[in-house]
Structure 1
Amino acid sequence: MSALVHVLVPFLLCVAVANTGVFDQVLVDTSYEHYAERAVPHFPAFLAMPFNCLVNVGYVVVGAYWLRAPGLEHERALFYAKDVFALMALLYGPVQWARLATLRRAPAVLDQWFTLPIFAWVPVWCGAVARGWSAGRALAAEACSLLSYALALLHERGFELALAAHIAAAVHSAAVLQRARGDAVSLRYFALAALACAGFVALKLLDHPLAQWWPFQRLTGHFWSKVCDVLQFHYSLCFLTHISQRAQSAHKRTS
């Protein structure tokens, strides 16, 4: 229940702020021309771009799976960290779907904005494994992450700068934790998560150029970018859960 409150309260606050007009100057795309997949005119709005819409089910499936996944029962803080991350995945899918279904500014802003605290949660969880849980650190990290979206108001590429910093911090913290506490299994999960992250970024940027080639004209670069993002969530959870379980076992042996 505490994880749900942690995710839902800032989620609803951000929804309220995004609908006030504060971010009316932020550069976001609110048309189907932004995507290489062609909209189907006679389909309902929530399926206007079928593949890019339906891929968002993957976030819900991954989030729901990890909410029910066993493990970490004996360490409440790490169990909590896992549930927060899983809930973030579960809620992120509907936000992206709403963006495509409505083509409104507020869901487009939220689609960008929520990406930042999701990446910020990786260093929070890594810190909990390495140094123990700190509610203050977690709150500060998430608050700073949410506030960093203000960069999008200062420059048209401010969001991209904030996102790049968040991705770099997430990869660095995971790499440091792998070096200190990891094994061959966690290394495999780390590599798969990093590969999925690279695909998430590259395929989204190459959405329109790739559409020149027939394999990417229906299942476009943006669609495969979202597939990579779903896998990024899954393998990040695999990595962080596995390395948390190793830390639990090591603590039991020394206590």
Structure 2
Amino acid sequence: MMSALVHVLVPFILCVALANTSLFSEVEVDLTYEHYAEKVIDYMPAFLAMPFNCLINLGYVYIGLYWLLWQRAVKETEQSRYMREVFALMAIIYAGVQWTRLATLRRAPAVLDQWFTMPIFAWVPVWIDFIEHLPGKWRASRAAAFELCAFISYGLSLVHEKGFEVALGCHIVLALYKGVRVHLTHGDNHTRRYFLLAMLSCAGFVVLKLMDHWLTRFGFFQRLTGHFWSKVCDVLQFHFSFCFLITVTDRAQAKTAAQKK
């Protein structure tokens, strides 16, 4: 776990340092509560000013700790454990970033909220690349190179006001493509169900977030707003991605072991 923690924290700390410079001073980010449909409760402390959108971050922490500390029934290789631990740590750290953004409304956390989304989505293709190169062809340098590209892709936000959305869309499409491909190679009915649930969660994450204010015309979304439910979908997206990737990893490793006999 220490290796995974170091490999997540080092780039994160570097991003924090860069986000607090003038490098991203022109990036289009929302720095007011008006961006969110949930009403602010003035008498609450800043970290609970929008209670539901703030507290949903505990869901990320829970799902991250659940998969980080999860005890496998099947024996896990060192590399597959590393894949799981990195993804889980990303979920936990992302919760802190989002919560800090809501509590402070500062530019740096807002930039980090967008920026850190890139390597999170990129970890899905990295994990799938590991599965596709079992047992001994995968190299950590491949993961490092891919994650570096994911971090750099946020640079699109510096050249166009919709650069973040374009970069994120590309990462989502790549994750879906790689997911379909690895399912066709190593999947079964279980992985199909997990993959479909992950896709539905991803769609909910995107659509509900974009429709946050529009949905308030319906009573159900006036207190528990679209943005809140989009974060619920994001937590579920993490969960079902774990289920899918771990199950596919187990099946791929079982195939490899059978071929060696």
- TM-score of Structure 1 vs Structure 2, range by shorter chain: over 0.9
Aligned to 1:111: 113
Question: Of 230, 252, 255, which residue of structure 2 is paired with 1:250?
Answer: 255
Aligned-residue offset at 1:74: 3.5
Structure 2: which amino acid aligns with 1:251?
A: T
Aligned to 2:63: 62
Cα distance in 2, alignment partners of residues 143 and 38 from structure 1 = 38
TM-score by length of 2: 0.96
Q: Contact 1:75 / 1:248 at 8 angstroms: preserved in 2?
A: no
TM-score by length of 1: 0.98
Cα distance in 2, alignment partners of residues 61 and 249 from structure 1 = 30
Cα distance in 2, alignment partners of residues 134 and 205 from structure 1 = 38
Secondary structure of the residue that 1:207 maps to in structure 2?
A: coil
Structure 2: which amino acid aligns with 1:221?
A: G
Secondary structure of the residue that 1:69 maps to in structure 2?
A: coil
Q: How many residues align?
A: 255
Structure 1 portions without partners, runs of 5+: none
Aligned to 2:223: 218
User: In the TM superposition, what are the counterparts of 1:78-97 in structure 2 within 5 Å?
Assistant: 78-97=80-99
Aligned-residue offset at 1:144: 0.5
Aligned-residue offset at 1:155: 0.4
Q: Contact 1:200 / 1:226 at 8 angstroms: preserved in 2?
A: yes
Q: Kindly tell me: are residues 51 and 74 of structure 1, through their superposed partners in 2, closer, same or farther at Cα, counting changes over 3 Å? A: closer
Aligned-residue offset at 1:73: 4.1
Matched, 1:143 2:143: no
Cα distance in 2, alignment partners of residues 216 and 190 from structure 1 = 27
Secondary structure of the residue that 1:29 maps to in structure 2?
A: coil
Q: Contact 1:73 / 1:79 at 8 angstroms: preserved in 2?
A: no
Cα distance in 2, alignment partners of residues 21 and 223 from structure 1 = 31
Structure 2: which amino acid aligns with 1:254?
A: Q
Hey, which bits of structure 1, 4+ residues long, moved more than 6 A? Answer: none
Q: Give CA-to-partner distance per residue, 1:123-153, whole Å, 9 cap, x none.
A: 0100100113321110110000000111000
Structure 2 portions without partners, runs of 5+: none
RMSD: 0.9
Percent of counterpart pairs with the same letter? Answer: 59
